[in-house]
A and B are shown apart, each in its own frame.
Chain A
């Protein structure tokens, strides 16, 4: 294997799939958990009936490719990947072929699904649809491989912040908000997508609540699922603390103060969802109930943040914890357990894990 391709493949392709395990897990659950194979075939067949429908699919492929590209931009800004700019030293033919291979590796899920759609169009004799999906997917892959090539050889400033982030200067800079600055400056797109997704869940759960007879469990379940979506951010928070703020552990700050700082950061992260929940329901639900659900959310978020701090783990290893905790708590909430009790247990567990980490 070409050593240049080997290194770039390890840096971008392997790391992309490692970093997005949770994302693919959710997609797999959505796509294959709720839809059975005959339903997939029916949907693909119906889409193939009119080639215009496949444009929607191609639109999704563009969004996926943008996500991939965003990951590569973020990776390229890492100080440890500055050397990748030397990729520009090989001939343009080699460069083009290597970036095309990298893009194919990064786009495997959409290439695979496009082949499935093309096959479905072929079996239903919708040749136009088949050509559209194959040509469209190829074009997207080639165009994004050219973007990728340009990105890899282009020198970049490590501390680039987009203009839109200038307002973050208004956020105070202390131990509990440093990670918020990090999110806005280094992970703006994943942060934004996470918030869009989790806010949609909270708003959806509020709508469900209004359509039922005052069943508060829908609001608790909405926050629980929203925290599940935010668990990737909780992991990044732990990672940020161990990598970037490691030296801060040398500071004379008490354990309890450090714990409270973590709790405040969790509250900041989860504030959009809590505000959305309170804003949507304050006229129908007692405010104490809404605060109890919000506190449950903050405590669970803190627990999700403490888990990866207790021992070194990859995102891959970490995903199972929020996944199973969400699944268990889903049924606990359905069993009418009060959110304040769940929150207290989560907070105590988080505190004991935090102390255990210090004991180590």
Chain B
């Protein structure tokens, strides 16, 4: 399980989030909230991209004390990913393969599923937002994560890719991988059934179920 304890996030002196204590049990979690409520900030902190005060733990692994062990088990895809325009998709995939201890077979499998292989040797500067999104989702599924955090995983993707990504999430969830989502799209008629939904409002996070 993923726990937050005395978690607070400020930008300059402005309080963005204040979460006294929350636990995400294993499963699929849908985090809702209005624009600017702090969903992406929460995810960026959970992924270790932004500094915060308080504690974030995966089981007994504290993100601040053992970032290596934590990040090996928690993968992340941002809502609007951007990478240096001069790096190719392959550069980034190789970078992540090494860090996430992934394998060539896994890359090939995800490559084929998401159709990244057709453009991965081009510089990121040439990618459309959908191509960038697919690359970012591929990177989030590399290695053997226990949790995958996906911020707006379906935006900018075409219908076909949305189904592929939804299927991918469903199959990984069946295999025991937990997910944290933020999306404005309704899951009611989708392939993904969240176990729990959360709402961020008034700078804090509350379970809806």
Chain A residues within CB distance 8 Å of chain B: 2-4, 6-7, 10-11, 78-83, 85-91, 153-157, 159, 161
Contact = CB atoms under 8 A, between A and B. Distances in A.
Contact of B84 (A80, A155, A159): A80
Contact of A79 (B12, B82, B98): B82
A155 B9 CA distance: 13
Given A86-B71, A87-B99, A3 B94 contact: yes
12 contacts: A4-B95, A4-B98, A6-B91, A6-B94, A7-B87, A11-B87, A79-B82, A88-B48, A155-B49, A155-B50, A156-B50, A159-B12
A285 B152 CA distance: 64
B82 A88 contact: no
A157 B11 contact: yes
Interchain residue pairs A-B with the least CB separation, the first 8: A3-B94, A80-B82, A7-B95, A88-B67, A89-B99, A89-B71, A155-B51, A82-B49
Q: Would you call the interface of chain A mostly helix, strand, loop, or mixed?
A: helix
Contact of A81 (B84, B94, B98, B100): B84
A3 B97 contact: yes
B155 interface: no
Given A83-B49, A86-B96, A155-B49, 18 more contacts: A3-B94, A6-B91, A6-B94, A7-B87, A10-B87, A11-B84, A79-B82, A80-B82, A80-B83, A80-B84, A85-B48, A85-B49, A86-B99, A88-B68, A89-B99, A155-B48, A157-B11, A161-B12
Given A88-B67, A89-B71, A159-B11, A3 B98 contact: yes
A153 B67 contact: yes
B67 A89 contact: yes
Contact of B68 (A3, A6, A82, A89): A89
B121 to A, nearest CB: 14
Contacts of B45: 155
A4 B92 CA distance: 9
Contacts of B95: 3-4, 6-7
Most chain A beta carbons < 10 A, residue from B49, B50, B51: B49
A92 B71 CA distance: 14
Contact of B86 (A10, A86, A90): A10
- Contact residues on B (Cβ < 8 Å of other chain), bracket: 20 to 34
A159 B71 CA distance: 23
Most chain B beta carbons < 10 A, residue from A2, A80, A87: A80
Nearest to B50: A155
Most chain A beta carbons < 10 A, residue from B12, B71, B86, B98: B98
B72 interface: yes
Nearest to A78: B84
Contacts of A88: 48, 67-68, 71
A154 B85 CA distance: 23
A83 B83 contact: yes
Given A81-B84, A89-B67, A157 B98 contact: no
B103 to A, nearest CB: 14
Contacts of A155: 45, 48-51
Contacts of B71: 86, 88-89
A11 B124 CA distance: 13
A99 to B, nearest CB: 15
A326 B208 CA distance: 66
Contacts of A11: 84, 87
Contacts of B99: 4, 86-87, 89-90
Given A10-B86, A155-B49, A89 B94 contact: no
Interface in B58-112: 67-68, 71-72, 78, 82-87, 91-92, 94-100
Contacts of A157: 11, 50-51
A156 B51 CA distance: 6
Given A86-B71, A86-B99, A3 B91 contact: yes
Nearest to A94: B98
Interface string B30-72: 0000000000000011001111000000000000000110011
